[in-house]
Amino acid sequence: MIEITNLNFRYKKQPNLFNWLSLSENAGSIVGLLGKNGAGKSTLLKLITGLLEAPKGTITVMGETPFRRNPSLLEEIYLIPEEYDLPSVKISEYVKAYSLFYPRFDHTKLAKIIADFELDARQSLSRLSYGQRKKFLIAFALSTNCKLLVLDEPTNGLDIPSKAIFRKVVAGSLNDDQLVIISTHQVKDVENLIDKIVMLDRGKVIFHQSLWEISEKYAFTTASSLDGIGSVYHEVAPGGFKVLKPANGVPTEVDIELLFNAAISGVQFK
């Protein structure tokens, strides 16, 4: 669905953000896009959704160049940006105005997710809190049934129960022909939701694997001492260490935070 080849990009008067970055992603996954501040996560999402032009390298989404912004492609892409400005209208008016553009928009699904998030469709968007507006946008995005959903920091501003609902509604609303990319700093919020991880660092993709592959090859444990552990990477944790080591046949839950820190510190994953 997404093919990026040798992408080079920089903002005016800035150093290169991406150096020969290549990435390929197919439908049927929920991908977590991780990276340090300034690694270019939001920029990559903007390039994928056609908000920015890629001057060098190629980007195709569903076979088309996103920056051409063909309506037939835009009908299949929905982006929730990190910063957004919603009009001062009721939820129902917003839905009436924008659902027109998405041919597979599902009003029943929207009503259900809105109810799950405890929102009221009669409310005005200007009277909602930041978190409530985010919940509405998530509900709207999922209801479009677009083939590519791009969510930039979707859990920012959500309260703790809403984060759990977010995971539930995202996991329960998708089809196999859809691809969801979630960019986030809050890795705990998307654990048990994402099935692939892409990590960006210094202009390149430094990690691109499914959680299933990782859990096959590596074990994530805690230990009071590092003696005889054979760790690939470890971090000090309360009462000992968090340890990443080769798998020994017993599957463990992937600690995305530990995995991220290991990748950023230079651990090479096979």
Q: What is the binding site for another protein (CB under 8 A)?
A: 11, 46, 49-53, 69-72, 74-75, 77-79, 81, 83-85, 87-89, 93-94, 96-98, 100-102
Q: Which is nearer to another protein, 81 or 240 (CB)?
A: 81
Measured distance CA(88)–CA(90) in Å, rounded: 7
**Which residue in the block uniquely carries the two structure tokens 């590092």?**
226
Measured distance CA(179)–CA(148) in Å, rounded: 5
Task: Tell the smallest beta-carbon distance from residue 233 to another protein (Å).
Answer: 36
Q: Which is nearer to another protein, 32 or 66 (CB)?
A: 66
Task: Tell the smallest beta-carbon distance from residue 74 to another protein (Å).
Answer: 4
Q: Which is nearer to another protein, 102 or 136 (CB)?
A: 102
Q: Which is nearer to another protein, 83 or 176 (CB)?
A: 83
Take residue 11 and report the two structure tokens written for it.
Answer: 């903002």
Measured distance CA(16)–CA(181) in Å, rounded: 23
Single-letter residue type at 22 = S
Contacts of 192 (CB under 8 A, 6+ apart): 167
Q: Which helix (H) or strand (E) holds 268?
A: none
Check: CB of residue 151 under 8 Å from CB of residue 138. yes
Q: Which is nearer to another protein, 80 or 259 (CB)?
A: 80
